[in-house]
Structure formats: structure tokens, C-alpha cells
Amino acid sequence: MKRWTIFTGITLFIITFSSLIWLFSSVQSNKNETFEGSIEYALSNDLITEYSNVSYYNGRRSYHIIDGVDQEGDDVYVWIESIQDEQESYSSVFEESDEEENVEDEVSEPRTYIRKQEDGISASQARQIAEQHLGIDEFKQVRLGMIGQTPVYEIVYIDTEDRYSFYYISFEEGDYIRHYQLRRST
């Protein structure tokens, strides 16, 4: 009986571990596929000629931010809105439509913004601005994002009151945009 219990426990552990690995790899491959779609969009629309990095920002709208080089050879950032298919959108399940079903689906273009890197502050400058104005206990990250039509840096940190904090400053000048703080559970 003891062997049977040990065997069952090991088998359950292996199944659980394998499932977690499969889940992680499927999420990563989906992320890479969407990055590839954004890169292809930017290249085919002559927004960039080459790229070095792609990152993701999830705010009210989600964006892929591409660090690349434009047609003139300038280093640029390109924000490309990540558009979900209507079939994949949770909200579309609950929305009712009065439109006729035989109307062809419109293909919407993603919102796209381009800024020369030299026209804004760097991520290290954004971090310095945050460190000068905020009580940062533990720094987490700085990343590019978009609020409305304003390119921003999102600075994530733990403040001196042990709150998880998000500080947003403009990409162009480093001006304050907004600030969120969330209490951490203990």
C-alpha cells in the first residue's frame, strides 16, 4: 500500500510538472507569434528597416513597442496596437449587434505611433527622474507604454510604505502623467 501511494504521488507530480511546462511554452509561443505579426506589419509598411528589440505594454490598449531603425537611418520606437480578433475578444461574446450578418468584416488597422529615440528621454533618464521624486524602496522596471496618444515610460517599484507602485512620465520631456499605488498583501 505504501508503494502504491508513493507511485501515485510521483505520477501526479510528473503530470502536474509536465502540464505547467506545456502551459508556459504555449503562452510564450503565442507571445512570439504576436510579436512577429507586429514586426512584419512595421517592416511591410516601411515604418522600420530593421529592429533590435520588441516589448509589450498592457494598459487600456495593448501595444507592441519595437526598437528599430527607420528609412533615414534614425533610431526610432514604433508603438503598434495589439488588435485581438473579434472571435477572441471576451467582450464580443456579451455584446449584441443589430448589424446584418452578411456584411463583410472590416479589417481594422492598428493604431501606430513613431517617435525618434533622440526626441525623448532614455529609460535610464526616466529612472533617474523617478528616483529624484519618489520614495523608492525596491526598483522593479522601466518600460515604454502609451496612454491615449501620449508615449510614456511606466516605472514600476515598491515604495517606502511597501506599496506596489506605477509611475508614468512622458517620453518626450519626462513630465509627470499619473501615479498608481497598490497595497501589497501580507
User: pTM for the whole thing?
Assistant: 0.67
Cβ-contact 18, 28 below 8 angstroms: no
Q: How far apart are CA 65 and CA 79, in angstroms?
A: 5
Tell me what pLDDT residue 26 has: 60
Q: How far is the first Cα of the chain from the last one, in angstroms, to the nearest whole number?
A: 41
Domains of the chain: 2-118 (no CATH), 120-183 (3.10.450.40)
Q: Which residues pair with 155 in a beta bridge?
A: 142, 167
- pLDDT score, position 25: 63
Q: Name beta bridge partners: 58.
A: 62
- Name residue, grid cell 508614468: 168
The runs of H, that is alpha helices, within the chain are: 2-44, 90-94, 123-133
CA atoms within 13 A on the CB side of 161: 6
What is the model's pLDDT at position 153?
94
Closest CA to 78 of 115, 44, 46: 115
Q: Tens place of pLDDT for every residue, the chain, 186 residues?
A: 788 888 788 888 888 887 777 676 666 545 555 678 788 888 888 888 998 888 888 888 889 999 999 889 999 999 998 865 433 433 333 344 334 444 344 557 888 899 999 999 999 999 999 988 888 889 899 999 999 899 999 999 998 888 889 999 999 988 888 888 888 776
Which pLDDT does position 59 carry in this prediction?
84
Q: Which residues contact 46 (CB under 8 A, 6 or more apart)?
A: 71
- The pLDDT, as a whole number, for residue 154 is 94
